[in-house]
Copies of this chain bind each other. A is one copy, B any other.
């Protein structure tokens, strides 16, 4: 049974890395002391080691050891042996390219379908969708495919932002997602910072204090309130 936390962001304004999720993560990873970390999204281009250290500092506080997948000789085996997995944010193109290049998509998908607890933040949440096509990131590398894990039946738009009421800021997120739906049928959930999806088997529940915005092809976008179960 799938057991995923799919979070918009790792860090909410004015609080430390993953702090807002601390209680949730203590429960989520209660059956393991060691978590496999996938650092391939490399936010701001930091190294896999530096990124792993940063994430490990948080997990150390809740008595978990975090180990970077880049330290294993055989990353496929590392995934198959993992008792908990966390994919951090950064650049989604980098992450998805590396996952395809190392042939990690299929084994990771299999582990998540079998129930290994998973945490994704930002790019690591985009990875859970059907494709990465609703990322906000810059295409700094060319992945062999935009396909992702498909462990949820829609795509994520992480760090979802409402249009600024006072400022001319170019295209809104909504405009971009509408463009997406001229070419694609997969629904998109715009997750605001501080929101996450709790996925337990086929039940997907919106958590956090905020509503989320849902985009379906040929429909007006609509809000869903916290604690809503998302079904399409």
Residues of chain A having any CB pair with chain B under 8 Å = 13, 42-45, 90-91, 94, 132-142, 145-146, 159, 161, 168-170, 175-184, 193
Closest 9 CB pairs of A and B: A45-B182, A140-B180, A138-B176, A45-B179, A13-B168, A142-B146, A140-B183, A159-B170, A133-B139
Known A45-B178, A45-B179: A184·B135 in contact at CB below 8 Å: no
CA of A137 to CA of B144 in the docked complex: distance in angstroms? 19
Give chain B nearest CB distance to A162 CB in angstroms: 12
A42 x B138 contact (CB < 8 A): no
Chain B residue nearest to A43 (CB atoms) is B179
* Chain B CB within 10 A, most for which of A94, A138, A145, A181: A138
B135 x A183 contact (CB < 8 A): no
CA of A133 to CA of B176 in the docked complex: distance in angstroms? 17
Residues of B within 8 A of A13 (CB): 168
CA of A194 to CA of B166 in the docked complex: distance in angstroms? 20
Known A168-B13, A170-B159: A179·B44 in contact at CB below 8 Å: yes
B139 x A176 contact (CB < 8 A): no
B142 x A145 contact (CB < 8 A): yes
